[in-house]
Amino acid sequence: MLYLVRHAHAGSKAKWSGPDVARPLSAQGRKEALGLIEQLRAHPMGRVLSSPTERCLQTVQPLAARLGRPVEPSEALGVDGTGPGVAELLYDPALDRAVLCTHGEIIGKVLNELERAGLELSDPPRWPKGCTWILEPESGHGWKGTYLAPLAVEPAAPGSTPR
């Protein structure tokens, strides 16, 4: 089982004056990053890998901190990644239960790749910012994909105890 996450909402590319790889999450995106913790709370998770872009790293950093694990940057998940390159990660036994954060265009390519391997989806293929696809191999052939819509969670009030 793996968790394929599209980075949460980031600030406008047109309004960002720095390099695109450094574009951070918006306030909405930071809430969606916290929502990822809530959504995956009951799921078994392993490593946390991410595109090296700031918006992807920021999406999974709260989850990784909650798990007590580092975020491992991976160029394969970056904006120049490919469907076959990411699909190769999905078959790596060392990444069982891994959270993989990438970009929308990469998720589309991965889902297309997996469709050729017999992907069965719970919902029509889509990948809005902050969404997650839970991908499970099906008894040696094919995949099952379960869609989780983005969830925005308000940050805890100062002095409150996190759940």
Q: Which domains does the chain possess?
A: 2-8+20-148 (3.40.50.1240)
How far is the C-alpha of 118 from the C-alpha of 2, rounded, in Å? 16
Tokens of 163: 């759940």
Average pLDDT value for residue range 25-48: 96
Residue 66, classed as helix, strand or coil, is helix
pLDDT at 66 over 70: yes
pLDDT at 163 over 60: no
Q: Is the pTM of this model over 0.85?
A: yes
Average pLDDT value for residue range 10-35: 92
Q: How confident is the model over 104-115, as pLDDT tens digits?
A: 999 999 998 888
119 to 5, 100, 116: CA distances (angstroms):
17, 18, 7
Could you tell me the pLDDT band of residue 86, with boundaries at 50, 70 and 90?
A: very high
Which ranges of 116-163 would DSSP assign to H, the alpha helix? none
How far is the C-alpha of 81 from the C-alpha of 161, rounded, in Å? 39
Smallest Cα–Cα separation from 10: which of 64, 68, 51, 65?
51
